[in-house]
Amino acid sequence: MEVTLKEVWEAQQNLKGVTRRTPLFYTDTFSEACGCRLYLKCENKQKTGSFKLRGAYNKVVSLTQEEKERGVIASSAGNHAQGVAYAATAFGVKATIVMPHTAPAAKVAATKGYGAEVVQAGQVYDECYAKALEVQKETGATFLHPFDDVHVMAGQGTIGLEILDDLSETDVVVVPVGGGGLIAGVSTAVKSLKPSVRVIGVQAEVVASSKASLEKGEVVTLPGAKSLADGIAVATPGTLCFKAMQRYVDEIVTVTEDEISYAIFSLMQRGKLLAEGAGAVPLAALLAGKVKDIKGKNVVAMVSGGNIDITAVGKIIEKEVAAATGEELCS
């Protein structure tokens, strides 16, 4: 199966009264810095702190009664975990989430708070995914994939519907890419309704598996790596996601860890927004000039989530203030 506009519209109906219609607002500050008319789509203001609730809830809605009775299991660096926990609890379904040991403490605590049992395994997403499959075989629970699933992609695609509804003159949409579920859904919705819109993905340079896959023309697995953008540090993109990316995504660019750090800091300092690493990569790419041909264009940068560990925030502030102070001293 492939995700289509029809599935995205159906997901929008399923999510009515559940998810928030998140704000899309124009930013003078970042428009000037990036050389375009820049709008921020703030999924960090979504329930559970990220866009992942959309896909997770839409998937749980699709389950049969028998599947719900067996319980659900998922693997996640944190945001899908919270979305699944929230959705499962809403339907009275037992949820087990496997998260890496490196997952931010705030995401682990929030997942437990939404009612799920948390099992920690591995250092990166792909290791906890393997563990989740083991547990699934032992328990018979229904596995909810964080990205490579039509219902999940369709749920994420509802963001694209909201963007075009709020800004019909959108020229470019810049989206974080990990396994590909978000950009697959959003690009399907946006391109189906307005093919002229350019959809640009952004990955962390240290594990740019979707970019490598598109360049090679087949799904590629890269060595796992830790990143400030933990939510998109995925070694292998989804097969279904990859097909959608091949069809609808114009380009994927990468950003360095320093560029991600600066974008997180800038969103806090200038935008008054708290974003996690994955949520900041679109702005990071724009600030670093990685997205071309945007002068005078209406550009939407997705702030996909705000679930960042508070200790990481402190370190980023310290690092960026020191860097700025050092530049002032040098000048």
Catalytically active residues, by annotation: 52, 304
What number of CA atoms fall less than 13 Å from residue 251's CA on the CB side? 13
The angle at the Cα of 229, spanning 326 to 34, to the nearest 5 degrees, equals: 60
> How far apart, in whole angstroms, are the C-alpha atoms of residue 266 and residue 321?
11
* Nearest C-alpha neighbor of 231 from the set 10, 41, 44, 28: 44
**What residues form DSSP beta bridges with 243?**
none
Beta-carbon contacts of residue 325 (< 8 Å; ≥ 6 apart): none
Q: Is 208 helix (H, G, I), strand (E, B) or coil?
A: coil
**Residues 103, 131 contacting (CB under 8 angstroms):** no
208's tokens: 């740019």
Output the CA–CA distances (angstroms, integers) from residue 258 to 280, 285, 316, in the order listed. 12, 11, 10
Q: Which H or E run contains 117?
A: strand 117-120
Q: Which H or E run contains 41?
A: strand 37-42
206 Cα distance to chain centroid: 17
Starting at the edge strand found earlier in the chain, the sheet holding 72-75 runs 117-120, 95-99, 72-75, 142-143
> How far apart, in whole angstroms, are the C-alpha atoms of residue 200 and residue 144?
27
Let me know if 32 is exposed, middle or buried by CB neighbors in 10 A (0-12, 13-18, 19+): exposed
Q: Is 305 helix (H, G, I), strand (E, B) or coil?
A: strand
